[in-house]
Amino acid sequence: MVPDEKKGLGRDGTPHLPLTPVELPIDPWLLEGTPAPHCKVCTALAREREEALAYGDRSKAYEVSREIRNHRHVSTP
C-alpha cells in the first residue's frame, strides 16, 4: 500500500493581501449640486459646503452636496 504523497499544494496557499486603504481621486460629481437660487436651505447648504471645503473637510462637503442634490427646493409660500 503506497500512500499518496500529499504535497500540500493549494492548502491555504493564498497569500493574504494587505488591506491598504486606496486613496480615491476626487470625483467632481461628488461636489456637484446646484443650489436653487431662491431656496434658503440650498443657500445655507452651499455656504456650509464652501466652509467645509475651506477646512478641507471633504466628507462633509460631499454630504452637503448630496443634500443639495436631494433637496426638493420647495418654495415657501
Q: Give the separation between CA 33 and CA 69, rounded to whole angstroms.
A: 5
Distances (CA, A) of 16 to 20, 21, 46, 63, 67: 12, 15, 44, 34, 39
Q: Under the criterion CB under 5 A, does residue 66 sit at the interface with Zn ion?
A: no
C-alpha cell at 67: 443634500
CB of 32 to Zn ion, least distance (A): 14
Is residue 42 within the footprint of Zn ion (CB under 5 A)? Answer: yes
Residue range at the interface with Zn ion (CB under 5 A); choices 5-13, 15-23, 31-39, 51-59: 31-39
- Comparing every residue's Cβ against Zn ion, the nearest one is 39
How big is the site for Zn ion, counted in residues (CB under 5 A)? 6
Q: Is residue 71 within the footprint of Zn ion (CB under 5 A)?
A: yes
| R_g (Cα) of the chain, nearest Å | 26
User: Nine-digit cell at 11?
Assistant: 492548502
**Which residues make up the interface to Zn ion (CB under 5 A)?**
36, 39, 41-42, 71, 73
